[in-house]
Amino acid sequence: MIRLEIALELDYVIADPGCDFIFNIHAASTPRQLVVAESLTLSQPLLARVETEPVTRNRYLRLQAQAGPLKVAYRATVDLMHHFAPPGEVGEVPVARLPAEVLGYIYPSRYCQSDRLHRMAMREFGQRWQGYGRVQAIRDWVLERTTFTSNTSDSNTSAIDTLLDQVGVCRDFAHLMIALCRAINIPARFATGIDYGADPALGPTDFHAYVEAYVGDRWYIFDPSGTAIPMGFVRFGTGRDAADVAFATIFGTVNSSAPVIAIQAVAGADGHLQVPYHCTEAISTDG
Amino acid sequence: MIRLEIALELDYVIADPGCDFIFNIHAASTPRQLVVAESLTLSQPLLARVETEPVTRNRYLRLQAQAGPLKVAYRATVDLMHHFAPPGEVGEVPVARLPAEVLGYIYPSRYCQSDRLHRMAMREFGQRWQGYGRVQAIRDWVLERTTFTSNTSDSNTSAIDTLLDQVGVCRDFAHLMIALCRAINIPARFATGIDYGADPALGPTDFHAYVEAYVGDRWYIFDPSGTAIPMGFVRFGTGRDAADVAFATIFGTVNSSAPVIAIQAVAGADGHLQVPYHCTEAISTDG
Amino acid sequence: MIRLEIALELDYVIADPGCDFIFNIHAASTPRQLVVAESLTLSQPLLARVETEPVTRNRYLRLQAQAGPLKVAYRATVDLMHHFAPPGEVGEVPVARLPAEVLGYIYPSRYCQSDRLHRMAMREFGQRWQGYGRVQAIRDWVLERTTFTSNTSDSNTSAIDTLLDQVGVCRDFAHLMIALCRAINIPARFATGIDYGADPALGPTDFHAYVEAYVGDRWYIFDPSGTAIPMGFVRFGTGRDAADVAFATIFGTVNSSAPVIAIQAVAGADGHLQVPYHCTEAISTDG
Amino acid sequence: MIRLEIALELDYVIADPGCDFIFNIHAASTPRQLVVAESLTLSQPLLARVETEPVTRNRYLRLQAQAGPLKVAYRATVDLMHHFAPPGEVGEVPVARLPAEVLGYIYPSRYCQSDRLHRMAMREFGQRWQGYGRVQAIRDWVLERTTFTSNTSDSNTSAIDTLLDQVGVCRDFAHLMIALCRAINIPARFATGIDYGADPALGPTDFHAYVEAYVGDRWYIFDPSGTAIPMGFVRFGTGRDAADVAFATIFGTVNSSAPVIAIQAVAGADGHLQVPYHCTEAISTDG
């Protein structure tokens, strides 16, 4: 069991009165990710609704803010009870046996045009053992070919762009890996959290995007940009791709500052401090 | 109340043994769309599972077929109890009030890149009254600019392609209308059924794709290709776009013939025959 | 006759030894654009070749520089003897009569995918009088729909992107106008020079991109971004699109500063000062 | 010396009166490709102009036809005097030494978006010896990854599409090879002719598209689709890509039949019959 404390602070200056926000910055609450404690502080006296989307368990904070400054601070203590598995024992799930709620994740989406990449993915990965190792090979292929470079991509950048341009940030690595998985019928989804364990030389602690692939009847975690430690990922949201799980979707004109984010491992209820580390086993926080 | 009888027959010759199929050809079962009777006949002795996706209520028929011919025949009797509303009383729902399960339909998807069309949609439709009439104006704009032409589009064709090329089939009209709605934050989804009432000069009765937009706290039906009579639409599936709701997704090599499809209005339980007609009211089969 | 003095200074710091440059910063020399005097100063002792491409008359400065700083300064005095014509007398040239060397300019190019825009252009401009006024209508349409915004486009941005996104800089306005002209078989080319007459509020004097369209048996000047005074355009280069006529193409790693550019009208050989102004006549500096 | 006889017949039925055609079906006349004899027969009594574009030496047949049937028959006897070179002695030409009229062929064009492929091309080919062998490696890479399949591409298909989809016809192979060459600053152009030596199992003799790359101070011939015998290529046209050198550009509504094309080696003026064969040397018909 790993206990993590996270703290986020988002700062905006809102130009329009009545500006709507949809945030996805609450830790998801799942059987393997327990939200032990959490708090939300808003600098405006607003009605803030938090809704849980029943299928994904994403939690959306929705509010309508007044013109002027708005500070949103969220803190949580989260316990992760990972499922571990030996990679060699995690096989793919034949399409015929995929659960109905997983099926959607083999279809293409806005930023993951898997329908275009079937032949390329078959050429590169078609001959491999159909299991966790194949997904890992896709992850390694993406990481090996793509250079992490800030400010090379924007909200219009898709998996195909990243495949061609071979540069991007964590969002782009994730999209490309997802598209390649789906291209060979492996369900894959976009997950968001915090870049636990990232090298401080890359900048301050930030939001992170990574991948969950459905193999061995479970969603396993992969980090295609290779910048962080997957065992320390507290999941905020999952979706088809970045279109579904922005940290903040804003319907109006605002100025925003860079978010201030902190995450650290702390001692659990039993007094034991377990720090996330790079492990060779397949890990999952799925039910 | 309208009672419709539908009959589909799909014919395949399968090259690979153990070929997986996922069909979405069952009429959805909703409070306003009652499946009074239905039957499924397969020419191979197969286990056929029908699963209902809980959120969309799409029903998926999944089976694994043997090499050789496969005939899939589906028949159903369906009662539609439409909700009618005067268009002028159906307003848009502010983002702040959109239900969580509707939110996903304002985000871009594979074939509906609404994120690219915000400025264009604002220029064309930004000044209009925010209600059903604005959605209808988008529908009319798409219909007016696009020429229905068979064999001008393929499975890679997106809303942007249709906007540029100004030709397509019902799927393409639907994608473009959806993208424009979402571009101004009106939830819109892709719906599939049968082209009830289509001019026989356009060819035999066929599958159909149309649009549902969320206004007035409800999903209302729109037919952007203008080829059919919306009151006669029996819904099979809804999704983000065509990526989600193919009639048949096939994981293997098959030859297929053109489907044979029939639909007709029949007398209801009360002996009364109500034939679908083009109406000026807003109509919905949503709960 | 208009006499203009131009001065450019480009500053680089070169990382690689033996870095190749191709500049197109020399005023073209044509029967209607006389280079009265010019000078080139390089801060490194380099062999600098200036070659004239025979068909376009573009003049390319090519050099191979050493690592370290490089300053390139060019000054010229240029006399423009415009051809003027009443717009109503300038008709389009039927394809059958287009000169062979003009034909290439009705075909699509990297950033001007005119083949995609035929139907759209016919819808918008197909019914108009086939002459200068139709080209002007295209120019006005582009200007009306597109918002000049710095840093919204990059070297990958094409006419289709600008059509969709409705923002850009002079290069993007030019590409969209060119694509629409070619889509209805009006030859159009990309031209580069200096933004004579631009509002100083838009920033310091800069390079400029505009359009020449072939109507009335001659290449006439159009300024789709509407930011400058066409009569003051000293032409550097023309090409199919921006791919052909970059101010500087650099084969290596360099840092560059913003160019320092000046242009002003001065008294001509006869002592008379003619200042460029916005005129309603069609103007050309073509032979 | 190789002597080839070619015969083409194109058949149209024209709907509009006064329909313009631009054909590029005349053998180019160059120092190494001598047109010994040729004839053109038209089934309508039309004025037919043949113009030679001075830089490319492409010969364009232009005519304006009446409504009704039009048959265009062209026959020619052509002598090819190839330049041969040992591949290991053909180096690349540094950008600094590229002739001005060759420079345009390192820039991207409509169907060859080389600007997008720089990193990918550097990854695949950046470490190789800079000469003919590198171009050959690009040709082999394209051939190895792409499957020749009729009816998988259309007039909108570009090099990036072919890279992703990994299928196409000769035009698509050529575009992808050209884009990859330009991405590493090797000038490459699109060439058209007849598929001399193609396997009759692929269908009747047809037009062909191939590549010329500028190495060793000369344009050398490459056949990326690998379907024909390069030594038997009679060049019709060269251009930036297929946008420049269509066999027929038609400005109006016509029905066309498949062209009937024949090509064969015959005895030359000296009575000797030299049949084209697959050779290992670099070959060129450039000046």
pLDDT digits (tens, 9 = 90+) for C174-226: 999 999 999 999 999 999 999 999 988 888 999 999 999 999 999 999 999 99
In angstroms, the CA B218 to CA B236 distance is: 18
Distances (CA, A) of C44 to A226, B114, B285, C14, C23: 44, 51, 77, 12, 16
Q: Is the pLDDT of residue D94 over 80?
A: yes
Which chain D residues contact residue C251 at CB under 8 A? 95, 185
pLDDT digits (tens, 9 = 90+) for A210-252: 999 999 999 999 999 999 999 999 999 999 999 999 999 999 9
Q: Is the pLDDT of residue D287 over 80?
A: no
Q: Is the pLDDT of residue C146 over 80?
A: yes
Residue in the structure block whose two tokens are 């007459």: C197
Q: What is the mean pLDDT of residues A129-143?
A: 97
- Asked if A157 reaches chain B (Cβ–Cβ under 8 Å), the answer is no
Q: What is the mean pLDDT of residues A76-96?
A: 96
Which of B119, B163, B167 has the CB atom closest to C165's CB atom? B119
Token pair in block for residue B195 = 């082209």
Q: Are D166 and D152 in contact (CB under 8 A)?
A: no
pLDDT digits (tens, 9 = 90+) for D168-226: 999 999 999 999 999 999 999 999 999 999 988 888 999 999 999 999 999 999 999 99
Q: Is the pLDDT of residue C287 over 80?
A: no
How would you list the strands of the sheet with B19-23, edge to edge? B49-52, B59-65, B19-23, B248-251
- Asked if A124 reaches chain D (Cβ–Cβ under 8 Å), the answer is no
Q: Are residues C54 and D108, on separate chains, in Cβ contact within 8 Å?
A: no
Residues 6 or more apart in contact with residue B33 via CB below 8 angstroms: B27, B78, B79, B80, B81, B234, B235, B285
- Identify the pLDDT of residue D182: 98
Q: What is the mean pLDDT of residues A164-193?
A: 98
Q: Are B248 and B19 in contact (CB under 8 A)?
A: no
Q: Smallest CA–CA separation between B108 and chain C, in Å?
A: 15
Which chain D residues contact residue A168 at CB under 8 A? none
- Identify the pLDDT of residue C156: 92
Say which DSSP state A244 is in. T
Q: How many residues does chain D have?
A: 287
The DSSP-derived string for A16-57 is STTEEEEE--SPP-BTTEEEEEEEEEESS----EEEE-TTT-
Q: If pLDDT is split at 50, 70 and 90, which confidence band does D286 have?
A: confident
Question: Which residues lie across from C236 on neighbouring strands?
Answer: none
Residue B225: name the closest of B177, B193, B286, B258 by CA: B177
In angstroms, the CA B240 to CA C277 distance is: 54
ipTM: 0.94
Distances (CA, A) of D68 to A21, A271, D16, D19, D248: 64, 92, 8, 10, 17
- Identify the pLDDT of residue B188: 98
- Identify the pLDDT of residue D136: 98
Q: If pLDDT is split at 50, 70 and 90, which confidence band does C48 have?
A: confident
In angstroms, the CA B160 to CA B175 distance is: 9
The DSSP-derived string for A69-90 is EEEEEEEEEEEE--EEE-GGG-
Residues 6 or more apart in contact with residue B71 via CB below 8 angstroms: B9, B10, B11, B12, B41, B42, B43
Q: If pLDDT is split at 50, 70 and 90, which confidence band does D283 have?
A: very high
Residues 6 or more apart in contact with residue A136 via CB below 8 angstroms: A87, A222
In angstroms, the CA B131 to CA B87 distance is: 8
Q: Smallest CA–CA separation between D145 and chain A, in Å?
A: 9
Distance of CA D169 to the CA centre of its chain: 13
Which of D95, D115, D251 has the CB atom closest to C156's CB atom? D115
Which chain B residues contact residue A112 at CB under 8 A? 110
Q: Are residues C108 and D243, on separate chains, in Cβ contact within 8 Å?
A: yes
Which residue type occupies D189?
A: R
Residue B107: name the closest of A117, A254, A239, A176 by CA: A239
Terminal Cα-to-Cα distance of chain D (whole angstroms): 15
- Asked if A271 reaches chain B (Cβ–Cβ under 8 Å), the answer is no
Instruction: Output the tens digit of pLDDT for each of chain B's 287 residues.
Output: 999 999 999 999 999 888 999 999 999 999 999 999 999 999 999 988 899 988 889 999 999 999 999 999 999 999 999 999 999 999 999 998 999 889 999 999 999 999 999 999 999 999 999 999 999 999 999 999 999 999 899 999 999 999 999 999 999 999 999 999 999 999 999 999 999 999 888 889 999 999 999 999 999 999 999 999 999 999 999 999 999 999 999 999 999 999 999 999 999 999 999 999 999 999 999 87
- Identify the pLDDT of residue C55: 84
Token pair in block for residue B176 = 């473009």
pLDDT digits (tens, 9 = 90+) for D16-66: 888 999 999 999 999 999 999 999 999 999 988 899 988 889 999 999 999
Which residue type occupies A109?
A: S
Helix, strand, coil percentages for chain A (3-state, nearest 5): 25, 35, 40
Average pLDDT, chain C: 95
What percentage of chain D reaches a pLDDT higher than 70?
100
Looking from the CA of A30 toward its CB, the CA atoms found within 13 Å total 25
Which of A160, A166, A167 has the CB atom closest to D164's CB atom? A160
- Asked if A130 reaches chain B (Cβ–Cβ under 8 Å), the answer is no
Q: Is the pLDDT of residue D272 over 90?
A: yes
Which of A119, A145, A165 has the CB atom closest to D116's CB atom? A165
Residue in the structure block whose two tokens are 């068909």: C55
The DSSP-derived string for chain C is -EEEEEEEEEEEEE-STTEEEEE--SPP-BTTEEEEEEEEEESS----EEEE-TTT--EEEEEEE-SEEEEEEEEEEEEE--EEE-GGG-BPPPGGG--HHHHGGGS-BTTB-GGG-HHHHHHHHTTS-SBHHHHHHHHHHHHHH-EE-TTS--TT--HHHHHHH-EE-HHHHHHHHHHHHHHTT--EEEEEEE-TT--GGG-S--EEEEEEEEETTEEEEE-TT--S-GGGPPP-EEESSTTT--SEEEES-EEEPPPEEEEEEEB-TTS-B------SSEEE---
Q: Are residues D116 and A164, on separate chains, in Cβ contact within 8 Å?
A: yes
Which chain C residues contact residue D55 at CB under 8 A? 54-55
Residue of A nearest to B102 (CA): A53
CB-based burial label for B277 (10 Å; 0-12, 13-18, 19+): exposed
Say which DSSP state A140 is in. H
Q: If pLDDT is split at 50, 70 and 90, which confidence band does A17 have?
A: confident
Q: Which of D:239-268 have CB within 8 Å of C?
A: 239-240, 243-244, 251
Q: What is the mean pLDDT of residues D106-124?
A: 97
Residue ranges and CATH numbers for the domains of chain D are: 2-81+247-266 (2.60.40.2250), 83-242+278-284 (3.10.620.30)
Q: Are residues C20 and D115, on separate chains, in Cβ contact within 8 Å?
A: no
Which chain C residues contact residue D153 at CB under 8 A? none
Secondary structure E strands in chain D: 2-14, 19-23, 33-42, 49-52, 59-65, 68-80, 83-85, 147-148, 167-168, 188-194, 207-215, 218-222, 237-239, 248-251, 254-256, 260-266, 282-284
CB-based burial label for D24 (10 Å; 0-12, 13-18, 19+): buried
- Identify the pLDDT of residue D13: 97
Q: If pLDDT is split at 50, 70 and 90, which confidence band does A18 have?
A: confident
- Identify the pLDDT of residue A47: 87
Q: If pLDDT is split at 50, 70 and 90, which confidence band does C286 have?
A: confident
